[in-house]
Amino acid sequence: MTSEIKITKVTQSRVSEVNLENITMGTNFTDHMFICDYENGEWNNARIEPLVLIPTHPAAMALHYGQAIFEGMKATLGKDGTPLLFRPEENAKRMNFSADRMGMPSFPEDLFVEALKQFTALEKNWIPKSTGSALYLRPFMYADEAFIGMRAATSFKFIVMASPAGPFFSRKIKLFAEKKYVRAVNGGTGEAKAAGNYAAAIRPTEYAKAKGFDQVLWLDAQDFEYIQEVGTMNIFFKIDGKFITPSLTGSILSGITRMSVIDLLRSKGFEVTERPITISEIIEASKNGTLEEAFGTGTAVGIAMVEEIGNNDLSIKFPAENPVSVMVNDTLNAIKVQDIKDEFGWIVEAK
Ligand SMILES: Cc1ncc(COP(=O)(O)O)c(C=O)c1O
């Protein structure tokens, strides 16, 4: 297909109806969406249009067989008011990794980035300005072919929409170390950003919240011993001055914040190791006084500092001070609004 994007604008923006500086992510949506159709083996008709309801056939295959994947990214404003994206090419790559796992067509990565740039530039007035706030961008793909039967669909939609977002967790979080339910198994779909992974996590997350926790800390599916990740975040621990994060062994989502934090910590002189980590090891470090900090990393949440990991039999408390977590959070936020120089080449201007 040609990568030209046809743009149809709304006659009147709704942006003045919302208070961008006090807003919960996912509750308000911007004026437009990017949309592209897959039929007869190719993507066609890339366009930006006013956001409207999309007619859906009751037999649309995504509704029955779950061919649905998504991405999450954030746009911020730079010093001179230019909209900025954070590593959009990594989201394009991960989207296609997910598409491949779920039997869905890949989307041209250059068009993905171009669509995100043009869409974000058009929705610029929706980007909140306060620290930690951003315009959350949601690219997603789903099977819209009307068919009952178990095979890959032949028609899909790729859409990008956006929702202004305030800072996610402004306080420290408590994680429930889940010993009954699992998020993913090796060979399953945990490495893909597949909608069904999140459906499976909803009930266990509700149970964890009912017990006073914020999120589930997922453990491995076989021994319930190896730490995997959290809700919509990867996890880092600081033990005896060094950082560790679970290695990507086949059931963990490869977070873009995770890869950025690894580079950032190393650039500040910290040792960071990616390796399997057991919950017993964290308990032991807590007992011998070497457990220093822990935080979750994710686009929606940014850096979420951990105060406690527990379950019915366990309570691991973290020290009140977590200076490196704060440094990582502040540095990432500062890079995203060009308060400090982006030495890593992560920022892409949307214009
Ligand atoms: C299951 C899961 N793990 C980790 C992450 C963190 O990934 P990223 O840093 O790319 O947002 C996310 C969020 O996308 C997620 O949904």
pLDDT at 130: 86
Binding site membership of 298 for ligand 1 (Cβ less than 6 Å): yes
Average pLDDT over residues 178-186: 96
Q: Which CATH number fits domain 6-167: 2.60.34.10, 3.30.470.10, 2.60.40.10, 3.10.129.10?
A: 3.30.470.10
Nearest-CA residue for ligand 1 atom 12 is: 232
Nearest-CA residue for ligand 1 atom 16 is: 232
Residue 293 contacts residue 322 (beta carbons within 8 Å): yes
Mean pLDDT, all residues of the chain: 96
User: Amino acid letter at 29?
Assistant: F
User: How many angstroms does the Cα of residue 71 sit away from the middle of ligand 1?
Assistant: 9
Question: What are the start-end ranges of the E strands in the chain?
Answer: 6-7, 32-39, 42-50, 68-70, 73-77, 83-86, 134-143, 156-165, 173-177, 215-219, 227-230, 234-239, 242-245, 272-274, 291-298, 302-311, 314-317, 347-349
Probe residue for ligand 1, chosen from 216, 233, 259 as the CB with the greatest number of ligand atoms within 8 Å: 233
Task: Give the residue with greater pLDDT, 22 vs 279.
Answer: 279
What residue ranges do the domains of the chain occupy? Answer: 6-167, 173-336
Binding site membership of 232 for ligand 1 (Cβ less than 6 Å): yes
Residue 114 contacts residue 3 (beta carbons within 8 Å): yes
State the closest ligand 1 atom to the C-alpha of 71, by its place in the atom list counted from 1. 14
CA 250 to chain centre: 18
Same topology between domain 6-167 and domain 173-336: no
Picking from 90, 77, 59, 114, the residue whose alpha carbon sits closest to that of residue 258 is 90
pLDDT at 90: 98
Instruction: Measure Cα distances from 103 to 10, 69, 119, 185 in Å.
Output: 35, 11, 27, 18
Average pLDDT over residues 297-302: 93
Q: Is the pLDDT of residue 32 over 70?
A: yes
Task: Note the helical H segments in 102-193.
Answer: 109-122
Binding site membership of 260 for ligand 1 (Cβ less than 6 Å): no
Could you give the CA distance from residue 278 to residue 77 in angstroms, rounded to a whole number?
Answer: 40
Q: What is the pLDDT confidence band of residue 3, given thresholds at 50, 70 and 90?
A: low
Q: What is the pLDDT confidence band of residue 98, given thresholds at 50, 70 and 90?
A: very high
pLDDT at 166: 82
Q: What is the pLDDT of residues 275-299, one digit of tens each?
A: 999 999 999 999 999 999 999 999 9
Task: Note the helical H segments in 239-316.
Answer: 256-267, 279-287
Domain 173-336: CATH superfamily is D-amino Acid Aminotransferase, subunit A, domain 2 (3.20.10.10)
User: How many angstroms does the Cα of residue 240 sit away from the middle of ligand 1?
Assistant: 26
Residue 28 has what DSSP assignment? -
pLDDT at 351: 86
Picking from 161, 156, 153, 131, the residue whose alpha carbon sits closest to that of residue 53 is 161
Average pLDDT over residues 164-180: 88
